[in-house]
Amino acid sequence: MASPLQTLSLQVFGVSTGFVTAGAIVALSYSTVPILLEHPNEVSLRHLRALFSSGSHIFPQLATAASTAFSVLAYNAPATSIVRKQYIVAAAGAISIAPFTVFVMKPTNMTLKEIGEQGDEGIKKSGGEQRVQELLRRFGRLNAVRGSLLAMGAGVGLYAALSH
């Protein structure tokens, strides 16, 4: 059984890490993607590739950390309590960005990456400028959903912490 200080520390860490990471992910959709859409596709795709690279090095780890905190809180909660179930849902919500990325976003991400690697030729082969813009918008929408999944996990974690 965790001490009250350990429990509080895990609650603060899980909730704050979850919400901050979700906010950063959603901010990409609502601030960065519109800026990318204002530039030539070749430039946008080059910047998007850099975003993919930097995001893949931090967001999964932060989501895992938040999920781990909620998992430990669930483990330490009484076995039949509603709080345990809430922390389990919070942990699942936080880590759900991983399968969402792999199974839902990966086709769009890989298409954008491949087009970007081929430059102007890739843009032409993909169906032109309009198709790239459509894919960038789709990435933005899917990314917002991904961030919302993590925010949902953090929200359930916050609810569990406040109701405990």
pTM: 0.91
| Cα 43 → chain centroid | 24
pLDDT at 90 over 80: yes
Average pLDDT value for residue range 48-59: 88
> For the segment 2-34, what is each residue's pLDDT rounded down to a tens digit?
899 999 999 999 999 999 999 999 999 999 999
Contact 15, 161 (CB under 8 A): yes
**Quick check: 60 pLDDT over 90?**
yes
pLDDT of res. 11: 97
pLDDT tens-place string over residues 91-147 = 999 999 999 999 999 999 999 998 888 887 877 787 878 898 999 999 999 999 999
What is the pLDDT, as a whole number, of residue 54? Answer: 85
Please, where are the H alpha helices in the chain?
4-27, 33-37, 41-76, 82-95, 97-100, 106-126, 129-163
pLDDT for the residue numbered 118: 83
pLDDT for the residue numbered 117: 85
Report which residue type is found at 1.
M
